[in-house]
Amino acid sequence: MEKKEQLYEGKAKKVFATDDPNLVIVDYKDDATAFNGLKKGSIAGKGVINNVMSNHMFQLLEKQGVPTHFVEQLSERETLVKKVSIVPLEVIIRNISAGSFAKRFGVEEGIVFDEPTIEFSYKNDDLGDPLMNAYHAVALKAATREEIETIKSMAFKVNEVMKQYFDSLNVILVDFKLEFGKTADGKIVLADEISPDTCRLWDKTTKEKLDKDRFRRDLGGVEEAYQEIMKRVMGK
């Protein structure tokens, strides 16, 4: 597979064309941003961890019947994925109160919900990814009603698989963000990444944060937290 021109550079990844029009290569960087790019930094080794962990999660989810963009890992930082058009929605599932939920509703972090919540935000950096509901998404043609139903059921399925998986690693899956893409033939697949950048992961015993909140909140031990998650996920 030949790596061709760069198509896109995001905050954490670059995307390159290949000689196959239906496939692209994702290249994970160590760059880290938070608060819509206001806080910038770097987390040594993050690109490798996020690449390897995302691929592990995508393969686990595929086995459980969730279609994803994953094709093949090419190197420590590079993965071949299906070319998709990203649905401009950030889909957030929460099992426990934290982050913007705790802030918005004035509650403490750590309240365990009776059932998971789902929310969407509109993927738009200039607007700061505003919260949106399904009607807004349809009005803005971000997705059709049917696509939103598909995305919702896929997202809850991902939560069930991941919650159980992380529990087996002595990790609590607090919340996470997913992105979905549409392939050339119109099929919705899980895309982007699943990593400590996009999930809140707390150690089940100590409740220690093992995710990007260590970077966002200047808690220290950022690299160590990413390495700890990698160790538990990959067994090394």
Q: Which positions touch ligand C5P (CB under 6 A)? A: 90, 92, 98-101, 129, 175-177, 197-200, 212
Nearer to ligand C5P, 82 or 200 (CB): 200
DSSP letter at 75?
A: S
Q: For residue 68, give every residue at least 6 positions away whose Cβ sits within 8 Å of its Cβ, in sequence order, or none.
A: 58, 61, 62, 189, 190, 191
As measured in angstroms, the least distance from the Cβ of 188 to ligand C5P is 19
Q: Which is nearer to ligand C5P, 1 or 128 (CB)?
A: 128
- Which CB sits closer to ligand C5P, 129 or 203? 129
Among 189, 198, 193, 16, residue whose Cα is nearest residue 87: 189
| Residue number, 22 or 36, with CB nearest to ligand C5P | 36
Shortest Cβ 18–ligand C5P spacing (Å): 26
In whole angstroms, give the CA distance from residue 219 to residue 181: 33
| Nearest residue (CB) to ligand C5P, 2 versus 38 | 38
**194 closest CA partner among 146, 218, 230, 224:** 230
- Residue nearest to ligand C5P according to CB distances in the complex: 99
Query: How much of the chain is in helix, strand and coil states, percent to nearest 5?
Result: 30, 35, 35
Shortest distance, CB of residue 15 to ligand C5P, whole angstroms?
17
Question: Measured from the CB of residue 221, what is the shortest distance to ligand C5P in angstroms?
Answer: 17
How many Å apart are CA 236 and CA 231, to the nearest integer? 4
DSSP letter at 209 equals B
| Interatomic CA distance for residues 27 and 95, integer angstroms | 30
> 71 or 93: whose CB is closer to ligand C5P?
93
Q: Of 66, 69, 61, 65, give the one whose Cα is nearest residue 87.
A: 69
Question: Residue 102 CB, nearest distance to ligand C5P (Å)?
Answer: 8
CA distance 217 to 153: 32
* Least spacing, CB of residue 163 vs ligand C5P, in Å: 13
The one-letter amino acid code at 203 reads D
**For residues 19 and 115, which CB has a smaller minimum distance to ligand C5P in the complex?**
115
- The token pair that represents 198 in the structure block: 């996009």
Q: How far is the CB of 21 from ligand C5P (least distance, A)?
A: 29
